[in-house]
Amino acid sequence: MPELPEVETIRRELVQKIKGKTIKDVEIKVFKMVNLPVFEFSKKVKKTKIKGIYRRAKVLIIDLYGPYFLLFHLKMTGQLVFVPKKGQAISGGHPIKNIGQLPNKFSHIIFTFTDGSKLYFNDIRKFGWIKLVEDSIYLLVRNEFGLEPLAKDFEYERFKAAFNHFPNRKVKQVLIDQTLIAGLGNIYADEICFCAGVKPTRVVKTLKAAEMKKIHKCIPQVLNFAILKKGTSADNYVRTDGSQGGMIPYLKVYGREGQKCKRKNCQGIIKKIRLNGRGTHFCDRCQK
């Protein structure tokens, strides 16, 4: 599932490509992926111009001139591909292998801009969605989520308060709770725990102040590094060699079950357990 770094990566790339463009048309093949009747949805977005692209948690927000915002959630298998009239396409979100010519059978929503370029929302499982909302709803959505880990106000005291809200929960449970901290999922929660030297199964109330501080510091550190590497899944479409996002070789624990720990001087082996139904990876030796 695309997490904060993957959504932020595609946001940064899209903003350069589609800001200022005008939507000529939208084709919706899977009706349940939009929040309004198709006719109403298209009527409202047609001829609107893109003012900006933001992100809140894992939600990508396209701000249109006028009263509307388009909110995109890629969920499990959503992918966005922008194809310019000329030049190279960009993509982000879930990697869909052998994507071939677009549109393909997964291209459920297609925006066409007045210059002929297109934005495809591909989704294998069709859980992704686009909501067209007005300002007031947009504000509600923004407030649904907890602390934004890359924002300036992601301060230690606020982070600690969010964490201590559930003293009996396990660290990973708190990290992936979108109402406390926004945008983290399975991959980066495991990576953050490794960075902090704390087991994902540790109970919050047993954390020492130094450990709590370490987790707080590791969150933006891990996320910013992943964004620098363009996430774990972005760019699949343009890389014809089939390679995935640049972050994969740098993952320390996620997907490394049975392999040697990458921490210097640690001889541990990465373990995988299930924590509340989610595959969870850690080093038994250097994570306490």
| Catalytic (active site) residue 3 | yes
Segment interacting with Zn ion (CB under 5 A) among 98-106, 141-149, 235-243, 257-265? 257-265
User: Does 261 engage in binding with Zn ion (CB under 5 A)?
Assistant: yes
User: Does 263 engage in binding with Zn ion (CB under 5 A)?
Assistant: yes
Nearer to Zn ion, 120 or 194 (CB): 194
Quick check: bond before 103 cis, omega within 30?
Answer: yes
Q: From residue 97, give the alpha-carbon distance in Å to each of 105, 203, 231, 266, 272.
A: 13, 39, 16, 36, 26
Catalytic residue among 44, 55, 56, 58: 58
Helix (H, G, I), strand (E, B) or coil at 230: coil
User: Does 286 engage in binding with Zn ion (CB under 5 A)?
Assistant: yes
Query: Tokens representing 36?
Result: 């309004």
Chain centroid, CA 78 distance in Å? 10
Nearer to Zn ion, 47 or 260 (CB): 260
Nearer to Zn ion, 220 or 268 (CB): 268
Q: CB 216 → Zn ion: shortest distance, Å? A: 21
Angle at 104 between CA 186 and CA 5, to 5 degrees: 25
Angle at 85 between CA 41 and CA 110, to 5 degrees: 25
Binding characters for Zn ion, 45-64, by CB under 5 A (x = yes): --------------------
User: Does 270 engage in binding with Zn ion (CB under 5 A)?
Assistant: no
Tell me, by CB under 5 A, how many residues bind Zn ion: 7
Q: CB 107 → Zn ion: shortest distance, Å? A: 43
User: Which is nearest to 103 in space by CA: 115, 113, 112, 114?
Assistant: 112
User: Does 217 engage in binding with Zn ion (CB under 5 A)?
Assistant: no
User: Which is nearest to 75 in space by CA: 30, 26, 118?
Assistant: 30
As a whole number of angstroms, the distance between CA 158 and CA 139 comes to 21
User: Does 99 engage in binding with Zn ion (CB under 5 A)?
Assistant: no
As a whole number of angstroms, the distance between CA 235 and CA 217 comes to 28
| Catalytic (active site) residue 58 | yes
Nearer to Zn ion, 176 or 283 (CB): 283
User: Does 137 engage in binding with Zn ion (CB under 5 A)?
Assistant: no
User: Does 269 engage in binding with Zn ion (CB under 5 A)?
Assistant: no
CB within 8 Å of 240: residues ≥ 6 apart: none
Segment interacting with Zn ion (CB under 5 A) among 58-66, 73-81, 100-108, 254-262? 254-262
Q: Which of 268, 269, 272, 279 binds Zn ion (CB under 5 A)?
A: 268
User: Does 198 engage in binding with Zn ion (CB under 5 A)?
Assistant: no
Query: Tokens representing 273?
Result: 């357990």
Contact positions toward Zn ion, by CB under 5 A? 261, 263, 266, 268, 283, 285-286
The catalytic residue positions are 2-3, 58, 278
